Amino acid sequence: MHLRYRFRIYPTPGQQVLLARAFGCARVVYNDALAAREGARRAGLPYVTDAELSQALTAAKQTPERAWLGEVSSVVLQQALADLNTAYRNFFRSVSGKRKGATLGLPRFRSRRDSRQSIRFTRNARFAVTDGGRLRLPKIGEVRVSWSRELPSEPSSVTVIKDSAGRYFASFVVEVTNEALPERVTEVGIDLGLVTFAVCSDGKTIASPRFLRRAERKLRKAQRSLSRKQKGSNNRGKARIKVARAHAEVADMRRDFAHKHSTAIIRENQAVYVEDLCVKGLGRTRLAKSVHDAGWSMFTRMLQEKAVRYGRYFAKVDRFFPSSQLCSRCGALDGQKSLSVRSWTCRCGAIHDRDVNAALNILAAGQAERRNACGAQVRPEPVPAQRGEAGTHRERRTALVGISGL
């Protein structure tokens, strides 16, 4: 499998100028290719192929208007065309129903004011990591890298990224082999929430960090300072960087939190089950800020990716499964409850904590679905009636249906 390893890089002022030039050239090539395809589509002409775009790029370098494209690595420009091709491929697969998720629109033009700029170098560009630990990029030079860990294998490509906070990163694509962890007998169901980030079926809880809520005062002050600056001034640009850095700090803390807890859960359990929450729908409610601050989607995505890498089982329970309404002891359906109800008593006498009970039900539902998916016998074989034992129709039907409860 392929993984990305991202490291912070610190280019010199001169290298920042060269990177800005490369960002601009890649953006112009992308926009020119997109304009060519959109112009052909509106004029009713045939679809412009990748080979034709590549030939047009080679011809454009020979013209006075685009001669400055030769100042950057040609691989960067070819990768810009590859990005456009990927965008169109995703669009065609989305409208045809072959791509999962929300329907994608046509590719859009890139702007120099985009919060994220990036260029990509492949092996053809002959980038290298020097013996001194620096990243050598063609027509840019050796860039200092802050290595937090070693690369597991030779990278196939590196993407240089500049985010909205003005930070630079190098993202390496490397090929790794799956590392199966020692098998465990424990399995866990996880109930995600806002008051408590996660409650596990074994009783463990993860407190909600609320990174955005804790940083709201700092963000409010930085945003207020930005609103007072004159548009187009240097002071407004500096204030914008402060706001972007404050948001980047919150995002980094949330990502680090999700990485640490997802890794711990995967290491301690052989199978992990979570509820398939509709985060997009919850993001339209009055709880939108708290929902996005929790980062449920990122957390579950990390659980799924790490389960595949380390030989664990991961599954999502249907979002319509009434995990908070069922009694985990007797299975009685007690009906809907408001969010203010944190504990309740079942008719069987069991006293349930709302979140722990939901986690237990998610675990049971996930285990049942896993047995079904692995080919377990859901419906038992019919019980043949013995001679002289006619039985009623209801008795025979009960024997045939068994645990299905029909």
- Lookup: tokens for 142: 């050796």
Q: Of the residues 32, 83, 293, 355, which is catalytic?
A: 355
Q: Is 183 a catalytic residue?
A: no
- State the pairing for strand pair 157-162/141-146: unpaired
Q: Of the residues 32, 83, 275, 293, which is catalytic?
A: 275
Which single residue is written with the structure tokens 């309740």? 344
Q: Is 191 a catalytic residue?
A: yes
Q: Is 369 a catalytic residue?
A: no
Cα separation of the two ends of the chain: 44
Cα–Cα distance between 343 and 339 in angstroms, integer?
A: 10
Are 60 and 40 spatial neighbours (Cβ–Cβ below 8 Å)? no
Where do runs of H (alpha helix) occur along 269-403? Answer: 279-282, 288-294, 296-309, 354-373, 393-401
* 3-class secondary-structure state, position 170: strand
- State the pairing for strand pair 196-200/187-192: antiparallel
- Lookup: tokens for 168: 């630079």
Q: Of the residues 52, 191, 293, 369, which is catalytic?
A: 191
Cα–Cα nearest to 272, from 226, 232, 224, 310: 310
Side chain identity at 212, as an amino acid letter? L
* Tally of CB atoms within 10 A around 19: 21
Instruction: Enumerate the active-site residues.
Output: 191, 275, 355
